[in-house]
A and B are shown apart, each in its own frame.
Chain A
Amino acid sequence: MLNKLNWRCVLYILTAILGIIWVVLGFGTYGFWSAEEGPGAGFFPAIVGCVLVFFSIVEFIKSIGSDAVKFDKEALYLVASVAGILILNFFIGLFPALVIYYVAWLKFVEKYPWKKVILITIFYGGIMYGVFSLWLQVPFPTGILLSWL
């Protein structure tokens, strides 16, 4: 039985658990129905939770023994990129972190020559900065290093 389970089964187990949480909190904590006020804050979520649990079980049974789900190892590049941006953001702020990531990707992953990297970064980064920071005045986070300076 266990060797017939795959990621799809795991996903539907998780959605069923989520549904159960919504049902339990809906009925118990937030109130499903009261005689005076009618449907409570838990009314709608509890119904949705019930539907989710039912169909998750149906889909779980259908998924047993289905083709295994394979994740791509290339996805790690994106995971690493996101982790890098978040760490850099903490120190130097969001916009500089994104620019550094942009340069690093073009130079070290795509292996573009420096001249091309700088030109593309100035062009695209300039548009993004001009529109969001200068025109729309979005206050990007500055990071602890820049705040300290």
Chain B
Amino acid sequence: METLSMLAEGFSVAMSFQNILAALAGGILGLIVGAMPGIGSLAGCALLLPLTFHFDPTTAIIMLGSIYYANMFGGAFSAILINIPGDAPAIMTALDGFAMTKKGHPGKALFISNYSSFVGGLIGMIILVFLGPALASFGLNFGPSEMTMLMLVAMTSISWLVGENPITGIIASCLGMMISTLGVDIVSGQIRYNFGSIWLLGGINFIPLVIGFIGMTQLFDLVKQDMSGEKLSYVDAKIRFRDTLLTKDELKRATRPSITAGLMGTFVGFLPGAGATAASFLAYAAEKKISNGKTLVPLGEGAIEGLAASESANNGAAAGAFGPLLALGIPGSGTTAVLLGGLMMWGLNPGPMLFSTNPDFAWGLIASLFISNILSLAISLGCIPWLQKIVRVPIGVMIPSILMICFIGAYSTSNSMFGVVIMLIGGFLGYIFSKCGLPTAPLLLAFVLSSTLETNLRRAFLTSHGNIAMFLERPITDVFLAIFLIMVLVPVGRAIYKKAKNNK
């Protein structure tokens, strides 16, 4: 009851005219920035941070929270419409979202994305209100060995995710992990695998890589279609707004994955260092197992369930990340680290004392997240009629437009032509990989998670003095180990059984 009355107090703070206006402005700006490839939520929040300097601390942080939250909504737009994820968590969104667009349903894909983002975010916020401090403390039980096992489960699930051949998934994952080892070793500070180049000292920036591997690679297909006079099915299709609304059945199919993925995403969001990207593809992998054979189309080919799982988990994690940030003062991701910087700039110190020393602020921020969620949903749904017009742009105009945004997006992440070079290498490699049947999604996701896996694996060995038995001695690692073994052994056993059956 006390929690609810504090939340009500928070709403009274957040519902002031000035704060609602700030949340609205943050929502609109966050959506725009989030939808731009090459910016993403981290850079978006960092770029828009100075805008909040003009307000009092509570209003400023409400605006910043709103920017952060709307960024998560916006990241899906470019992934769904032009197959360029606005940021890393939207990679899984692009798999089914763009497939739906190609089938002539961009509006429905946007609608599902917004709806699932809202549901996932709402679940995350409710859990944040009631269980936030407790879950954040539980997250602290995740030491290096638990995080290693979690990341290992995540990495394994990537390999089984895409395509029918897990070996190509493993090869792509290994390539992603190897690319992430370029530059300075984050544990020891030693320079490695830079081959004498100063450009590689800082490692490879993720955004140019993803723009190249996903955005630029698809240009090859578009050019081929353009030159052969083929028309994309969705280009000439007249899309009416009512066609974008979900039927009862579609809403039902999106709701169940949104709830399960929202819960999963929130939990992952509470873990320091795991982040929305890990949440979105863990939820996607889980959804693939849960809905095995029960979806109208397979996941990855425009399945509502896949899109809903990815988006809901992403937003659940975004809300969950506030748990360790507010309750313990630990940022769960790069973006929440920017928010932490913002909080400290206003003289607020997140941690166990925040809720008692600055209740107005803490509960005002949480309440404003609810408001931001509703505002972002309303703005996003309102934008659908205009957004879906993008896919009616002729393919001949789409090609130079996408190439232009690939160049600009890749350059703007580092303000250097090195980003463009990475994007181009990624684009050409992505084309070769697609021709040879090597999936690129595992490469990108392994790249994102690799540093967390490596850091925790090395810390685990360091603290246990090289004793591998540490992975068996703690209950949480045992659970993850069991999941890992099931994930690896069940498909192998199934394949052997199938082969034996065919041989009979």
Contact = CB atoms under 8 A, between A and B. Distances in A.
A33 B223 CA distance: 49
A75 interface: yes
A75 B47 CA distance: 36
Given A48-B178, A55-B167, A74 B224 contact: yes
Contact of A138 (B177, B412, B462): B412
Given A41-B185, A77-B223, A8 B175 contact: no
Contact of B192 (A30, A55, A72): A30
A94 B416 CA distance: 11
B190 A39 contact: no
20 contacts: A25-B193, A29-B192, A30-B192, A33-B466, A41-B188, A44-B454, A45-B181, A49-B174, A51-B170, A55-B170, A58-B167, A69-B436, A74-B223, A74-B224, A78-B220, A94-B407, A101-B400, A106-B400, A110-B396, A136-B47
A98 B410 CA distance: 13
A74 B188 contact: no
B408 interface: yes
A110 B412 contact: no
B295 interface: no
A142 interface: no
Given A106-B397, A140-B411, A8 B436 contact: yes
B168 A59 contact: yes
A91 B208 CA distance: 23
B234 interface: no
A15 B407 CA distance: 27
A7 B462 contact: no
Interface residues of A, number: 62
B387 interface: no
Contacts, number: 155
Given A41-B188, A124-B401, A48 B177 contact: yes
Interface in A84-127: 85, 89, 94-95, 98, 101-102, 105-106, 109-110, 112, 120, 124
B438 interface: yes
Contacts of B479: none
A113 B170 CA distance: 49
Q: Which of B174, B405, B453 has the most CB of A within 10 A?
A: B174
A56 B171 contact: yes
A75 B407 contact: no
Nearest to B222: A78
Interface of A: 7-8, 11-12, 15, 18-19, 22, 25, 29-30, 33, 37-45, 48-49, 51-52, 55-56, 58-59, 62, 69-72, 74-75, 77-78, 81-82, 85, 89, 94-95, 98, 101-102, 105-106, 109-110, 112, 120, 124, 128, 131-132, 136, 138-141
A42 B192 contact: yes
A25 B185 CA distance: 14
A22 B178 contact: yes
Given A77-B227, A139-B415, 20 more contacts: A15-B175, A25-B193, A30-B185, A30-B190, A38-B458, A39-B457, A39-B458, A39-B461, A44-B181, A44-B457, A69-B435, A74-B220, A74-B227, A74-B228, A94-B417, A98-B408, A109-B396, A112-B396, A138-B408, A138-B415
Nearest to B404: A98
B240 interface: no
Nearest to A39: B458
B92 interface: no
Nearest to A137: B47
Q: Which of A75, A81, A141 has the most CB of B within 10 A?
A: A75
A101 B402 CA distance: 12
Given A39-B462, A59-B171, A85 B407 contact: yes
Given A77-B227, A94-B411, A38 B396 contact: no
